Each structure stands twice: as structure tokens, then as C-alpha cells.
Structure 1
Amino acid sequence: MKSRAQSILRDVFGHQAFRPGQAEVIEAILSNRHVLAVMPTGSGKSLCFQVPALVLGGLTVVVSPLVALMQDQVAALRLCGVAADSINSGRRRAENVATWRRVVAGGTRLLYMAPERLMTEPMLAALAKLPLTLLAIDEAHCISQWGHGFRPEYADLCRLHDLFPHVPILALTATADAVTRDDIAQQLLGGRMEHVVQGFDRPNIHLSVQMKRNWKQQLLDILARHPNESGIVYCLSRKKTEAVAALLQQKGFHALPYHAAMDQAAREANQNAFITDPVVIMVATIAFGMGIDKADVRFVVHTDLPGTMEAYYQEIGRAGRDGAAAEAHMLYGLGDLRIRRQFIEDEASSPERKRREHKRLDALLGYCESPSCRRIPLLAYFGEVSEPCGNCDICHHPVSCVDGTPMARQVLAAVRQSGQRYGAAHVIDIVYGSLTEKVRRAGHAQLDSFGVGKERSKSQWRSLIRQMVASGLLKLDIAGYGSLMITPKGCELQGGEERFFYREDVVAPSSRSSEPSANGRKTKAGQSAPAEEPLSDEQGDLLARLKALRLHLARQRDVPAYVIFPDRTLIDMARRCPCTKEEFAQVNGVGTVKLNDFAEPFLEAIAANAPPSSDPR
């Protein structure tokens, strides 16, 4: 089956080799094992179920949360010659009925559905009569109540294994911490799932965070460092999205808005422009980005605090997919924090879930207030250990820190003496000396650490504790009640083997402080981030022509531009400049069907762009 999978990868999808993690996941599925795959945005998760679906035959059901994403994936598969379809609320009933008839007749290999449509009794009973060979659950973090995007309709998917006990289940997500991963596996199969977790580090992305002062000017200062480049500006609300897009247009930027309340045709037009034009700035809510494959996004800016570390990681992961240098900027303020807290409180969820979401937000704040390399807390959140990266604002411009070792030891003492069972608020009450009912009931007023830090404000202690979490001295037990727990590094500080320095003032001095080093980005080991050589001027001109052709072909077929070919394929095409159909077949992402359908127009465009040959006479 391995050779069959390799042939499908090459002949259908036009790739010569699997990316890291893909072969491992596919081999497990083909061996009838259940897998949870955690792979970064842009790493090719879809191939992990698309290739097995074609190897196994029969029917593969793919659970996807968004109708637009389903439709785009179906369109992309059909262009590769794969019999794919979807049943969803965005189609007329007659279309869904026709699709189901094709499924029953055995003419469909992959069927995309939303969880609420899949988990109806009539649909489940009908699927039980078909040769179902694989169940793939995309955005699987939505299953876990500990995940950042829990959706109640996803919870019912936990019945799938009992209903189809002999069918392998593949759960996929780009963002899930260890607690969420364990819960997904527990919910779906009582924990009996293999975990394939790819590294979370994207060393080519420069990270920076600024406290808001004049956010509009800060945004303009950031964009001034990215002339004639494409990027995404994320805003918290639809109203702000429209206002920021208008502001940037007034300042001469080619900026377009994107949010869920826009007319669908306008959204699709703006999305196509973003995919095709090399200098478009998309100003968007989080509704934009899922499934978008644009390789040359050079920057992502958050004008407001994201909801969680997972959301932040997923959104910045849309930058620099070509491996070249990219930047992720975040602006945040106390107003953002208040709004995010209110969102959590307004959510129709249990008190326990609200506590966990507040702790997740605390982890993100710890990242924002980190006194040292930003990559260390970002990767630590997902369970990875990192050295200073040399590619963030703090590594390039270290902040002024003071020795907080005595205060950190006071916090650690309070955590240890109270049994490592309480969250930050209670620990602060102990060191500050607040005789709350909870402190009195637990008998913690008698602890040696009670009242040792009354000379500092509670807000100062909160910032200190967040930075201790960011520095790895403490960790949050998100699976429990957000309790603070002492790490091995924290034990070393208690024992006198470590010191802790923290930043008293978290307000960035100026926008220039986050400017990347002129020497380029560095990886954790201090080496330049791997990236291909930039395109020459001639290759860049050709790429622009190829994108224009792609958009023309996409409009003819009424599909998004990137469905014809992703940016990676066009960039490879511009580098290779194939002259024949045989050479065109070697371009990454050109399978057999796309070779037959698209070789002629693209070869003509390439030939038209070629310089006239010189006369040897």
C-alpha cells in the first residue's frame, strides 16, 4: 500500500515526496489504526486523509466545520480528478439528493459534511449500509471542551467509533496543547489513538508585541516597513475591520475588508484579489484565513488581543508559508483584556469551562509580558522546549529587567505551602495578605508566606506571576482549575540555582524597537532560517502573469483562485519556466488531470513571457 500511496501522491496531486508527518499518519491509517494528527497550518493535513481515501477505495467521510471550506476542498479535488462531493446547508435540497445518489451508487470517494448533518439518525443509518473505509475529522480541537474552539455539535462525534467500530478514525488539528490532545483522544476512542505531533516552531516568522498607545499610528508604522508586500491585519470586530480598511485605503494602501457579514460575492472577490495580487492587505476578522493557501504573506498584524494562544498561533501561521522571512506583530491594551474577559463571561458555558478559558487568556498575557525571548513561552505552551530564538523583538532589543528573584521565591513559597492547588488570584491573596473568606477557610492566613508582599499592588503581582509562567518557573494546570504548579526550573530557583529577572514596565518604548535585525531572521540555533532564493525580477514578472491567468481560469470555473493552483505551484513554475508538457509535469503540485487541463494555457503564458532569443549570426 505504501507504493500505491506514493503513486497517488505523485500522479493525482503532483508531489514527489510527503512532507514531515504525512507518511507516518497515512501508514497508520492504511494499517487500520486510529490517529490524532497535530500539524501546523500549511503543512498539508488534507493529504493525510485524501491519499488514504484513494488507496482504500470505498467511501471516506470528512467532517468539516465550514461550508465554504468544504466547497473549496471539493472543487480542488475535482480539479485533480478525484470524485469528491459535499452535502451541506449551502446547497439546494435537489443538489444534496443528487449527491447522495452518487454516493450510494459508489461514484464518490470523499464526502464532506458538517457534524450536525452527519450525526442525524437517518444519515448514520444510511452510511451503515455503505462501504465506509475512513472517517476524517478536521478541526478536531472543536471536540474538546478544553480546546479553544469547542463546538457542541462536535461533541456528538464521540459516538462514531461505537457506530462504526471497524473504520479507522483520523482526527486533525493545527492547534491543540497537550491537555486538549489527550481529551480529543479520550472523547473519540477512550484514549486509544496514536498521536503524530509535528513541531510548532516557525523560525522564519519574526515575533513582536507592543502595548497600544496610538494604535492607528502604530499600525501605519508597521505597514510602512512592508512596502509593496502582502499581509493580513486582524481586527476584533466587523465594524473595526471596515474602519481600518478605509483608513489604509486613505493612506494609499491596497487594503480590502473581509468579515462574515459581507455579501458572499464581495467576500469572494476580495479573497481572489488577495490570492492573486502580490500587494493586497486583507483587513479581516477571524472569519478569514481557514483554507487559504497563499505562500507570500509577509506579515500578520493583530490590532487587538487574540482570544487564545492557539488562535494566535494559527493566525500568525498564515505568514511566511514559503519559508522566507515574515513578521507577526501584535498590539494589545487593557481594553482588549476587558473585552476578552467579558466574551468569556458572556459565553453560554459551564463555570468550569469559563475558569479554563480565563487561564488560557492568562497564558497569552504571559506571552505578551514575557521578559525574555517570545518563542520560549509560545512553544512551551504547546509542550516544546526552546532556546532564545534571535528572531523576536526582545531577542533583538532586550528589555530592561530587574532582579525579581526574592519576589519569585515568595510566590513559589506560597504555591508550595498551599499545595499547588490554587490559581493566581488565591496565591496573590496569600502573598498580599488579603484575608478573604477562601483564605480563611483554607487556613492559609497561618502560612509563612501570608502577607510577605503587601508592599506591592495586586496588579504588580499578577504581572510578575504571568512572567513567571512565561519564563517556565510556573505552569498552569488548565486541565484542572488553572492551578499554579512549580516546574523543575522553579524548583531550581527555590534552591538557589537560578535567578529570575522580570520587566516592570511592559509598554514598548517605540515601534522601532520591534524592527527586525538588518542581518535577517535567526533560528533557535542562531542560523539563518531556511528559505529559497527570492525570485528574480523576470521570475517575479512571470509569477504575476501566472497569477492573472490563474484568476481568469478560476472565474471561468467559478472557484477560488488558489483551487486552480496554490502559490507554491506558481512559484515553482516561475522558477522552472517549463517549455514542454513533460517539463510542466515536473512542477510541484501538477498531477495527471491538471497536466491535461492546464498545461497548454500556462505553457503559452510562460512562452509569451520569455525574452526573445538572440540571433547567433
Structure 2
Amino acid sequence: MARKALGLTDLRPGQLAAMTALAEGRDTLVVMPTGSGKSAIYQVPALLLRGPTLVVSPLIALQRDQVEALRSHDEDAVSLDAGTRAGKRTAAFESLREGETEFFFCAPEQLARPDVIQELAAAAPSLMVVDEAHCVSAWGHDFRPDYLRLGSVAQALGRPVIAALTATAAPPVRAEIAERLSMREHVEIVQGFDRPNISLEVRRMLDDPAPEIVTAVTAEPMPGIVYTASRKQTVRLSGLLSEAGVSAAAYHAGLRRAERDEVHGRFMAGELDVVVATNAFGMGIDKPDVRFVFHAEIPGSPDSYYQEIGRAGRDGQAAKALLFYRPEDLALQRYFTGGVPDPETLARVAEAVAESGSGSDRRGLRERTGLSPRRLTALLDLLERAGAVRLGARRVAPVPGAPGPREAADLARGLAERRRDVERTRLEMMRRYAETDDCRRRFLLGYFGEELAAACGNCDTCRAGTADRPQESGPFPMHAQVEHQAWGPGQVIQRGEDRVTVLFEEAGYRELHLDAVLEQHLLRETPP
């Protein structure tokens, strides 16, 4: 089937297991690096399941690329976005109703429209694919509130089989994806995170790293990406690189769509050597010959860092990931994670839902609260988790017997504060990565729940000879289930000579000194 329909000559590790699970009607969560064939995972079983396939993707450009690729194999596919003209929109729904379209692509924002839900429900899709599924998770590095309604959308469409696909997801992200999408006894396929061809390096900086960044870029083979935390820095660094004779351009969310598309297109076509960007650049970038990814400041988590450096060396050839680390830059990332909604705004939203009686649509709530769609969706999610509202694909309704608006607001704010605190534990893990003298690859893979038995030999600490340590033995080995007196249950993800790192279900990532743990009996191992 794969060879005949899509021209595949062989399958990569994990593909067959995922295809088989979906073809058997089982919800499936797939974590595989970009370029490992995640699209084929849903395209093959889609042709075996009766009914069309809905593919939810946040990137219009990527949707169009996949539509063109499917059409090149004579498969009927259409995409729908906010810019689709009325005539094409009507034709897309007609082909869906007539059973002529097998693959229907759209962004999650489109699924907030009642007419889209109505048309899709009538077509009774057999498979719902959630691409970039980490966007559904508040634990994830690219959380997008528009993804929050996808679980209720699946119910409104008759609950098709769900395929959730992502390139990078640590254990808590995977757990939240499954929960948010209401996946049923799902199959989880995680294909190795290791990218051994990428050399890892950290440079500790005391002053402005810009001059060293320019020097480092000019010494590397092109093309490459430089990530920075602010829009202002993208302009500054791209200007300095241009002055040094490098063909460089800035990319950030503040540019007009046409400007962003131009930079993206020139980079993909090989007309730019370097893009200096915020994290707005990269999702869906599948350029195989990127030779380096540099970070001008420390990112907010190992999740985002690993996703971004994973854009280098997709052709399997040698590539480089270099982080310029200044401890004071941690303060900027703490600022980014510091915001929690004020209780007055939360109470206003809860009160608007309560006053609606049998429920209200999101447009009506936006009009009554004066909030943007994105902001409203995020607050409704918190209120739902506090037990005050019920989110449907089309309407938001109060929960009978739920706490009043003020109490619901306090509960929701508490959840937001916990989310912030967990985010900060992830930033602490990023600091540990930057400052460790152990093998950096072993540290990153451990964070994602994967064990690297020996030092990798392809990072700066390995080259310096500080990472060659034996495997640790004794209590609390890797992946051990444990319980802390205050923080509750968790899992060991790092085990060093004198410390242990645990991912707690409620408290996030915590690093504990082993002597204190043993002396004070802070942890106990529990049955898996």
C-alpha cells in the first residue's frame, strides 16, 4: 500500500508500528524527529480507513506543501485557512461531502467556526491527525491555546481515531497531549531523540556575545540559524553579520506576513546564508543542509532548545549547536514565564459564562469580556481545569454546582501559578545543561527519558575530558518511580555521582543532592 499509493520504497524505524496501530483503529501518539516520515504514518492508514482524514496543522505553508505532495501521487487533498476565498471554500466542502476528498487540512483556528465543524461532522472523518501536537500542552515549549479545543472537536466530529504527531516531547508533554486530546488506551511510539551528528557546545560569556557570534558564524560552513530572545536583537545581529559579509536577514513575529514569507522562501531556496530569528522561525522548516544552529541567549527549556537545534544536520552530515551562555540572561527567561492572569479578569470570564445559562459561543464571550480570542481561550482552559466551565467544540457552558466566579478565579489562578513554577524548573534544567561538565548529550537525552550509557564524544565536555564517568549504581536508578515527602510521586531522569534529578508530577523538575536524600529519607522508591 505504502509503495503503491505514496511511492515509499522502505519504512523507517517506528513507522510500521504506528501505521498498524492507526489502521487497527487505535489512538496513537508518535514522537519522531522531523524528517523521519511522520506524514506517511497517517497517510497510509488513511487510505485503509473508511471516511476522510482531517489533518490539523498550525502552518499554512506546510499544509500546502503536503497537499501538493499528495496530489502528485493522485490523492485528493484540500486545505482551508483564513485566506481561502469563498468559492474555494465552498468547493472544498462540496468535494468533502461528495466523498471525493480524502485529506482535509486546516489550522486549529478554523475549527472554532461552527460552519466548519458542521461540514466536517457531516463528512464523518475516520481519522483526525494533530500535527505539532506538543502545541496542545502547557508543559510544552510552544503552547498554543487554539489547540485546547481539539479534544472537544474530536467529540463533535463523532470521535474519529486520533493520531498525535510531534518531533519533541518530554514525558510530561506526552502525558498532557494524551489527556487533552482524550486519547483512549493509546499506543505511544517514541523513536530515539539522539542526533549524534550534531556537535554540542556551550560558551560561557561575561559580556555582549555579539562579536563572538559574528566570528563564530563566519568560521562555519553555511547555511545556519541564529536564535535570539528579542526582536530587537534579530535586527542588530543580522545587521552585524551583513557588515561582516554574510548574507543574513532577521525574522520575527513583528514583521508583516509577506516579509516573513520572503525571508523563509529565500532561506529555503539557498539565497540566504543565515536567518537571525526569534522562536517564531522554525516549525515546519525541513531544510536538510543547515550546518549550524547558534543561540545568542539561553532558551527557556531543554524542550525548546532541542527542537531548535534539531533543525541542523537533517541530511545526516556533521552540524553544530552552540549556545552562548550568560547567567544574567536567565533573568529574561524568568520574566517570560512570570505572568499569571489577574483574578479580576478570570472572575469576569467565569461570571460571563455563568450568566449565559445554557452556554455561550466564544464570540459572545469575547464581546462581553473584551478579550482577544487567544487570551480568552487560555483563561477558559484554566477555568475548565478549575471545574467551573465545560468547553465544547461550539459552546462554553457553566458546570452545575461549580464554584462561584470569584472562587473559580482563585482556583484557576492557583493552577496558573503552578504552571509558572513548573516552567521555572524547566529553565533550571536548561541552566544545568549550560553549566554541566558531564556529557551534554547524555544530559539532554536523560531529560527526554532516554539513557545514553557512554559519553557521546561529540560535545565540548567530552572533548575536554570531563564527561568520562562510569555508570552510577546504587539507589534511585534512571527511570525509577519515587515519592517525595512534599512533592509527591515522580520519576528519576538523571542519576549522577552525588545528585539525582527527578521529574515530579506536581512540582516539575527538581535536582536533589544524594547525601541529603539518603540522610533525611526524602525519597522512597515505589513500584512501577
What TM-score results when the alignment is normalised by the length of structure 1? 0.64
Tell me which residue corresponds to 2:304. Answer: 311
Q: Deviations over 1:52-91 (max 9, x none)?
A: 2234363110111233332333334334433222221133
Q: Distance in 1 between matches of 2:483 and 2:149?
A: 42
Change (3 A) 1:50 1:199: same
Q: Distance in 2 between matches of 1:237 and 1:469?
A: 35
1:158-557 to structure 2, matched below 5 A, reads 158-164=151-157, 167-189=160-182, 192-213=185-206, 214-227=208-221, 229-277=222-270, 280-346=273-339, 348=341, 350-386=416-452, 387-398=454-465, 419=485, 421=487, 473-482=499-508, 484=510, 490=514
Equivalent AA in structure 1 for residue 508 of structure 2? G
The answer to whether residue 11 in structure 2 is matched with residue 9 in structure 1 is no
Change (3 A) 1:190 1:54: closer
Change (3 A) 1:471 1:155: farther
Please report how far the alpha carbon of residue 417 of structure 1 lies from its aligned counterpart in structure 2 after TM superposition.
Answer: 12
Tell me which residue corresponds to 1:413. Answer: none
Equivalent AA in structure 1 for residue 461 of structure 2? I
Equivalent AA in structure 1 for residue 425 of structure 2? K
Q: Distance in 2 between matches of 1:201 and 1:358?
A: 25
User: Does the aligned pair in 2 maintain the 1:146–1:479 contact within 8 Å?
Assistant: no
Higher relative contact order (CA 8 A, sep 6+): 1
User: Does the aligned pair in 2 maintain the 1:38–1:198 contact within 8 Å?
Assistant: yes
User: Does the aligned pair in 2 maintain the 1:25–1:35 contact within 8 Å?
Assistant: yes
Please report how far the alpha carbon of residue 192 of structure 1 lies from its aligned counterpart in structure 2 after TM superposition.
Answer: 1.5
Please report how far the alpha carbon of residue 418 of structure 1 lies from its aligned counterpart in structure 2 after TM superposition.
Answer: 7.9
Please report how far the alpha carbon of residue 344 of structure 1 lies from its aligned counterpart in structure 2 after TM superposition.
Answer: 0.7
Q: Which has the higher helix share?
A: 1
Q: Distance in 2 between matches of 1:160 and 1:44?
A: 26
Please report how far the alpha carbon of residue 266 of structure 1 lies from its aligned counterpart in structure 2 after TM superposition.
Answer: 3.3
Equivalent AA in structure 2 for residue 25 of structure 1? A
Instruction: Give the 3-state SS of the residue equivalent to 1:297 in structure 2.
Output: coil
Q: Distance in 2 between matches of 1:60 and 1:321?
A: 28
Change (3 A) 1:63 1:478: farther
Q: Identity over aligned residues, as a percent? A: 39
Q: Deviations over 1:495-514 (max 9, x none)?
A: 9xxxxxxxxxxxxxxxxxxx
Q: Distance in 1 between matches of 2:418 and 2:239?
A: 41
Please report how far the alpha carbon of residue 280 of structure 1 lies from its aligned counterpart in structure 2 after TM superposition.
Answer: 1.3
Instruction: Give the 3-state SS of the residue equivalent to 1:24 in structure 2.
Output: helix
Equivalent AA in structure 1 for residue 505 of structure 2? A
User: Does the aligned pair in 1 maintain the 2:53–2:103 contact within 8 Å?
Assistant: yes
Q: Distance in 1 between matches of 2:75 and 2:238?
A: 38
Q: Which has the higher strand share?
A: 2
Q: Distance in 2 between matches of 1:472 and 1:216?
A: 36
User: Does the aligned pair in 1 maintain the 2:498–2:515 contact within 8 Å?
Assistant: no
Q: Distance in 2 between matches of 1:195 and 1:232?
A: 32
Change (3 A) 1:337 1:365: same
Q: Distance in 2 between matches of 1:300 and 1:272?
A: 18
Q: Deviations over 1:287-331 (max 9, x none)?
A: 222222211111110111112211111110111111111100011
Please report how far the alpha carbon of residue 260 of structure 1 lies from its aligned counterpart in structure 2 after TM superposition.
Answer: 2.5
Change (3 A) 1:88 1:483: closer
User: Does the aligned pair in 2 maintain the 1:366–1:470 contact within 8 Å?
Assistant: no
1:67 to 43, 60, 67: 60
Equivalent AA in structure 1 for residue 181 of structure 2? L
Instruction: Give the 3-state SS of the residue equivalent to 1:391 in structure 2.
Output: coil
Task: Give unmatched runs, 5+ long, in structure 2.
Answer: 342-412, 469-474, 476-481, 520-528
Task: Give the length in aligned residue pairs.
Answer: 430
Please report how far the alpha carbon of residue 195 of structure 1 lies from its aligned counterpart in structure 2 after TM superposition.
Answer: 0.2
Equivalent AA in structure 1 for residue 220 of structure 2? H
Moved more, 96-105 or 244-253: 96-105
Q: Distance in 2 between matches of 1:303 and 1:273?
A: 22
1:13-24 to structure 2, matched below 5 A, reads 15-24=8-17
Equivalent AA in structure 2 for residue 225 of structure 1? A
Change (3 A) 1:471 1:159: farther
Larger Rg: 1
User: Does the aligned pair in 2 maintain the 1:370–1:470 contact within 8 Å?
Assistant: no
Task: Give unmatched runs, 5+ long, in structure 1.
Answer: 402-408, 410-415, 424-466, 496-617
User: Does the aligned pair in 2 maintain the 1:230–1:278 contact within 8 Å?
Assistant: no
Moved more, 166-175 or 242-251: 166-175
Instruction: Give the 3-state SS of the residue equivalent to 2:196 in structure 1.
Output: coil
1:530-609 to structure 2, matched below 5 A, reads none
User: Does the aligned pair in 2 maintain the 1:84–1:108 contact within 8 Å?
Assistant: yes
Change (3 A) 1:341 1:492: closer
Q: Distance in 2 between matches of 1:269 and 1:356?
A: 37
Equivalent AA in structure 2 for residue 388 of structure 1? A
Change (3 A) 1:205 1:281: same
User: Does the aligned pair in 1 maintain the 2:266–2:272 contact within 8 Å?
Assistant: no
Q: Deviations over 1:553-584 (max 9, x none)?
A: xxxxxxxxxxxxxxxxxxxxxxxxxxxxxxxx
| RMSD between superposed Cα atoms in Å | 3.1
User: Does the aligned pair in 2 maintain the 1:273–1:280 contact within 8 Å?
Assistant: no
